[in-house]
Amino acid sequence: MYKPFQINKQRKIQYLRHLIQIIVIVFLYSKIFGIKSSSIIVPFLHPTQSLYSTAIGAYDLLEYSLTSGLLPILALGVILTTSLTVGKLFCGWACPLGFVQDLMAYIPIKKRSFGKDMEKNFKELKYAVVVIFLFLAFLFGLSSQDYEKEYKNPFSDCPFNVISPSSTLFAYIPWALFWKPTVFFTSILAWIKIALLLATLISSTIYPRFFCRYVCPLGTILGIPSDYKFLKIKIKSKRTEDINSMLNRVCPMKVSIERNSSYINSSSCIHCGNCIAEMPNDLKQEFF
């Protein structure tokens, strides 16, 4: 049965997780306080073009390298190292858009799940997103060899940022408000971006972390080698049905396990800690 969110029923691990998310957001946009930009590359979705950004988003760097006709060695190195060590841990504990979606999920609206066929179709969508936008970035890179690129907005060096709700919320809207507020009255693209952002936020109230589960290109890439990552959740019991029932109730990514599984190796797991807090005698996080 659905139960509305109650602040006094949240596990301590979630208070800690949200505190860390807030600290990360303050760091990422601390240029507003006079802090200088850094060359730190963060392994979660972050719009580097934000007016107040102090870090570089790994996926932004990946696309920017491709659109510039360069080999994305540094970006791939960061992404591969992260995926093989902690997987999508930073998605759960640091991503600003993930934090916003977590807050939206706390709105007391009944949560829903897709049927198996629809769930499968949506999960295939995220791989299509990766292929399409990396291919577009590659094409831009080929074009850059023939002529100097000219763009109508400051986000087109990274194709995904054109529609990314993270870019819209943390980069495009602040840019428009401070530098070009007329864009809201003259640009159809501006309203398309805002509509996609609103769709992401609204969907997250009903389907927690909808964007993370079915769209995010970086999360998709990070989850591919999930069977080989060092950070895993070990299953210490054979209570498969009980664990799946619990996961369906508390896991924002709707992870599930197969019978006789030794670990939760789902490519969707963001290591939020909900499942371990619910069943500490059956689950244990290990790093090896």
Q: Please indicate, yes or no, whether residues 219 and 237 belong to a single structural domain of this protein.
A: no
Mean pLDDT within 275-288: 91
**Does the pLDDT at position 152 exceed 50?**
no
Q: Please indicate, yes or no, whether residues 177 and 257 belong to a single structural domain of this protein.
A: no
223, 250, 272 — which closes off a domain? 223
Residue environment code for 212-233, b if the CB has 16+ CB neighbours within 10 A, otherwise e: bbbbbbbbbbbbeebeebebbb
- Is residue 161 within 8 Å of 218, Cβ to Cβ? no
The pLDDT score that the predictor gives to residue 10 is: 61
CATH of the domain at 234: 3.30.70.20
Asked if the structure places residue 267 within a domain, the reply is yes
**Does the pLDDT at position 145 exceed 70?**
no
pTM for this entry? 0.90
Shortest CA distance to 90 belongs to which of 150, 148, 43, 140?
43
Q: Please indicate, yes or no, whether residues 33 and 140 belong to a single structural domain of this protein.
A: yes
Average pLDDT over the chain, rounded to an integer: 89
Q: Please indicate, yes or no, whether residues 14 and 67 belong to a single structural domain of this protein.
A: yes
The pLDDT score that the predictor gives to residue 8 is: 45
Asked if the structure places residue 3 within a domain, the reply is no
pLDDT band at 123 (very low <50, low <70, confident <90, very high): confident
169, 201, 223 — which closes off a domain? 223
- 117 or 94, greater pLDDT: 94
Among 135-144, 182-191, 228-237, which stretch is predicted with the lowest mean pLDDT? Answer: 135-144
The pLDDT score that the predictor gives to residue 154 is: 44
Asked if the structure places residue 1 within a domain, the reply is no
The pLDDT score that the predictor gives to residue 144 is: 62
Mean pLDDT within 22-29: 96
Q: Please indicate, yes or no, whether residues 58 and 152 belong to a single structural domain of this protein.
A: yes
Interval 159-183: pLDDT, tens: 999 999 999 999 999 999 888 888 8
Asked if the structure places residue 4 within a domain, the reply is no
- 52 or 116, greater pLDDT: 52
Q: Please indicate, yes or no, whether residues 204 and 119 belong to a single structural domain of this protein.
A: yes
DSSP letters spanning 74-94:
HHHHHHHHHHHHTTTHHHHHT
Q: Please indicate, yes or no, whether residues 164 and 283 belong to a single structural domain of this protein.
A: no
The pLDDT score that the predictor gives to residue 3 is: 44
Percent residues over pLDDT 90 in the chain: 66
Residue environment code for 73-83, b if the CB has 16+ CB neighbours within 10 A, otherwise e: ebbeebbeebb
Q: What's the domain count of the chain? A: 2
Asked if the structure places residue 249 within a domain, the reply is yes
Rounded Cα–Cα distance for residues 243 and 253 (Å): 14
Q: Please indicate, yes or no, whether residues 111 and 234 belong to a single structural domain of this protein.
A: no
Domain limits for position 105: 9-223
223, 240, 271 — which closes off a domain? 223
- 116 or 255, greater pLDDT: 255
**Residue 280: is it exposed, middle or buried by C-beta count within 10 angstroms (0-12/13-18/19+)?**
exposed
Mean pLDDT within 11-27: 93
**Does the pLDDT at position 43 exceed 80?**
yes
The pLDDT score that the predictor gives to residue 156 is: 56
pLDDT band at 153 (very low <50, low <70, confident <90, very high): very low
Q: Please indicate, yes or no, whether residues 141 and 278 belong to a single structural domain of this protein.
A: no
- Is residue 144 within 8 Å of 68, Cβ to Cβ? yes
The pLDDT score that the predictor gives to residue 140 is: 83
- Is residue 99 within 8 Å of 93, Cβ to Cβ? no
Asked if the structure places residue 136 within a domain, the reply is yes
Interval 50-77: pLDDT, tens: 888 999 999 999 999 999 889 999 999 9
Rounded Cα–Cα distance for residues 266 and 257 (Å): 8
Mean pLDDT within 185-205: 94
Q: Please indicate, yes or no, whether residues 214 and 253 belong to a single structural domain of this protein.
A: no
Q: Please indicate, yes or no, whether residues 280 and 141 belong to a single structural domain of this protein.
A: no
Q: Please indicate, yes or no, whether residues 45 and 137 belong to a single structural domain of this protein.
A: yes
Asked if the structure places residue 172 within a domain, the reply is yes
Asked if the structure places residue 132 within a domain, the reply is yes
